[in-house]
Copies of this chain bind each other. A is one copy, B any other.
């Protein structure tokens, strides 16, 4: 009989529910019911509600639902972290039926944390989408850069790249200039190089100055500024001559891939949802 369970990637603003059958997602539902939308609501009821739709299956949860602002706090596993460590440290809500996968913490050197991304990272490796030793990048509100060695997360860095762009577009002096399409073209590439060559705080003001002095077309400002932030992020990871495996959807991943290429690295885009499903299945197989 087929092994069937429910996997939930439960983030801050979004949630994705997967019905996994023999390691493949047979159904996927994405909504904006992240942990922020769960404030004041009951997680037990929410899970019961999900089971009503899909059957009384086991539920495996990753992401911010396991944080101190979510359902129940699942203590971080420390770097170097292997998939077996995650499986061993799983937080059972209802024994052998409902569980939360812990996040990973970097405590040596600069402190850092992740919740949810670790499942994708391990999934990319167990599905043989990336080698056991690799540099992986997960673009997003908070972009993760993970160094994997021997299939373990040995160190990682988070950058506020996506959040900074959103802040600038919504609330800053540059807001009126940033409300438009972002595409990988000349302006984006110029931004990537400036993001590498100059400090971000002055380059950002330069977006305004360029407009006042008629130096850049109005439609180019969003792409240039996105390039600045992404280029600054990528350049700080010393990727020149390296292969970066980018776990993302094709659109957002495409911008990071373009920046990696512009900064003399090689980029391989890996589907982040397939990686998640592979990772959560591999963890399930270890706790069954």
Contacts and interface: CB of A to CB of B under 8 A. Distances in A.
Given A199-B233, A200-B201, A111 B215 contact: yes
Interface size class of A (residues with CB under 8 A): 35 or more
Contacts of A100: none
Given A111-B210, A111-B215, A213-B111, A163 B173 contact: yes
Report the copy number of this chain in the oligomer: 2
A146 to B, nearest CB: 13
A229 to B, nearest CB: 7
Contacts of A205: 112, 142, 158-160
B167 A201 contact: no
Nearest to A67: B212
Interface in A97-138: 105-107, 110-113
Contacts of A204: 160, 164
Contacts of A57: none
Contacts of A173: 142, 160, 163
Contacts of A157: 202
- The 8 closest A-B CB pairs, nearest first, are A199-B236, A159-B201, A158-B205, A159-B202, A111-B209, A111-B213, A112-B209, A167-B167
Interface of A: 68, 76, 105-107, 110-113, 142-143, 157-161, 163-164, 167-168, 170-173, 198-202, 204-206, 208-210, 212-213, 215, 229, 232-233, 235-236
